[in-house]
Structure 1
Amino acid sequence: MDADLHSILAADEGPALRVVNANAASPVVIVCEHASNRLPRALGNLGLDEAALSSHIAWDPGALAVALALGAALGATVIAANFSRLAYDCNRPPEAPGAMPARSEVYEVPGNAWLSDAQKQARVQGLYKPFHAAVADALAARGAGAVLVTIHSFTPVYFGQPRAVELGILHDQDSRLADAMLAQAAAHTTLKTERNQPYGADDGVTHTLQRHAIKSGILNVMIEIRNDLLASAAGQAKAAQELASLLSAALASPRGAVA
């Protein structure tokens, strides 16, 4: 299928995203932009081998399992992308080079090189816009008391450098919920926790927070978990349990309490 002329997704490939527990009573909306390494058929394998497509450049391993378990623990809605960040990274705006990267860490992505405007627009229309429309709708349904939490995982070695941090609590201009979580972290998680690590707003990773929460004053936080800690079901369950406890305590604290 020529993505210049047709939708990026065939009818039998399903929607660009999944929504779990859409009518949840909780004010929390959990978002997982990098939940899947699946590619639309129209893109083939983007010139990558199976090892690359299974690696962190294609998705955030373990993040979806944590997001779903956290959603179940909190009784919250979960919104997850159904396709790889290499097709479109839903945590980047369309104008960002990383939205459809031609290179990710040490990997060249041949299928993303020299994309035409029509090819880019097919991905924006088919993957990015539906995802963010669903996030906006879920937050609007909860009003001013909504809470946006995004769940990610990161590779333990990046450009050959090991990372000691295990849990990153990230924020952009609005640090209220991140501050509350960091203040409570020692009591609720055994993970080595740091602020704005291994990335921060200056790295361009807070697009979802910026688009849906910063300007409107919605409480928000981005959570990064080192993916070697999520390699097993037990590790995923532990991370989700600790995050549920930590996030609940932070939201109940004066600094993070929902208005």
Structure 2
Amino acid sequence: MPQIALSDTAEIVTTLAGGSEIVLVCEHASAHIPPDLNDLGLAAVDRLSHAVWDPGALAVAQHMARMLDATLVASGISRLVYDCNRPPHAPDAMPEQSELIRVSGNLGLDAAARKARTDSYYTPFKTTLAAAIAGRSDPIIITVHSFTPTYHGKPRAVEIGILHDTDTRLADAMLAIAAQFSPMAIQRNAPYGPEDGVTHTLREHAIAGGHPNIMLELRNDLIADDSAQHAMAQMLSDWITAALKNLERTTR
């Protein structure tokens, strides 16, 4: 079973080390904003909102890591400080606006300030994840996220999104399994897709090396407590196990 192992940058990245080929990633695991950033100017009500992190995603990923004997790499910093699923040049790596929330602490960041955040938060995350992947002979990369039931006032019907970029192998296998066994509203590349810039981690760490990969998006009202998180993790882990077996058969 996986054991907790904190990296040298424990406040920035946490790893859960497992023995299988699966590397789970949770880029938006934490709502932590370092004290010197003065809460990025956010109101108290906004500091634990979905704008700041992905509620429930880390708990689901931790359950999955144990079920799949997987390695988990999770960011320890709010995505408003640095979104570890974005490259440094992307404007939304340090967003000035998140849906309806103005992030005043990110307004007008100059090149030096952006580089300082990149060096402090993104680089350790990227390095830790790259090392975890390099430690596997045939790595499989799966990122875990959550999303809000409504966005800009519009309800979202999708309950689980299975996302991919140019490599569709694992997503195709997962969607086929899900269609057989679940009555839930499961969609490909929803509620976001590659055109929204959400597949950076997949591109950077999986596609470039030819590793099977997917991004999971879970509606956060479905993973609001530990019981629901555990049940979601079990269902997803079962699908992943079955999908990987199907992939193995097709590549023989």
Per-residue displacement from partner, 1:59-84 (whole Å, max 9, x unpaired)?
00000000000000000111101110
Letter in 1 for 2:80: L
Q: Tell me the equivalent position of 2:218.
A: 225
Question: What is the rounded CA distance, in whole Å, between the counterparts of 2:248 and 2:39 in structure 1?
Answer: 46
Residues 52-201 of structure 1: pairs in structure 2 closer than 5 A: 52-143=46-137, 145-201=138-194
Tell me the CA shift for residue 254 of structure 1: 3.2
Letter in 2 for 1:227: N
Per-residue displacement from partner, 1:165-216 (whole Å, max 9, x unpaired)?
0000000000000000000003444431110000000000000000011121
Tell me the CA shift for residue 256 of structure 1: 8.0
Letter in 1 for 2:131: D
User: Aligned pair in 2 of structure 1 residues 119, 256: CA closer, same or farther (>3 Å)?
Assistant: farther
Structure 1 unaligned residues grouped into runs of 5+: 1-12
Report if aligned partners of 2:169, 2:247 keep a CA contact under 8 Å in 1.
no
* 1:18 is aligned to 2:11: no
Tell me the CA shift for residue 25 of structure 1: 1.6
Letter in 2 for 1:183: A
Question: What is the rounded CA distance, in whole Å, between the counterparts of 1:188 and 1:50 in structure 2?
Answer: 41
Letter in 1 for 2:12: A
State the number of aligned residues: 244
User: Aligned pair in 2 of structure 1 residues 98, 213: CA closer, same or farther (>3 Å)?
Assistant: same
User: Aligned pair in 2 of structure 1 residues 257, 16: CA closer, same or farther (>3 Å)?
Assistant: farther
Letter in 1 for 2:173: A
Structure 2 unaligned residues grouped into runs of 5+: 1-8
Question: What is the rounded CA distance, in whole Å, between the counterparts of 1:135 and 1:146 in structure 2?
Answer: 12
Question: What is the rounded CA distance, in whole Å, between the counterparts of 2:216 and 2:184 in structure 1?
Answer: 12
Question: What is the rounded CA distance, in whole Å, between the counterparts of 1:168 and 1:64 in structure 2?
Answer: 17
Question: What is the rounded CA distance, in whole Å, between the counterparts of 1:75 and 1:131 in structure 2?
Answer: 21
User: Aligned pair in 2 of structure 1 residues 256, 136: CA closer, same or farther (>3 Å)?
Assistant: farther
Report if aligned partners of 1:17, 1:79 keep a CA contact under 8 Å in 2.
yes
**TM-score with structure 1 setting the length:** 0.91
Runs (4+) of structure 1 moved beyond 4 Å?
Answer: 255-259
- Percent identical residues: 49
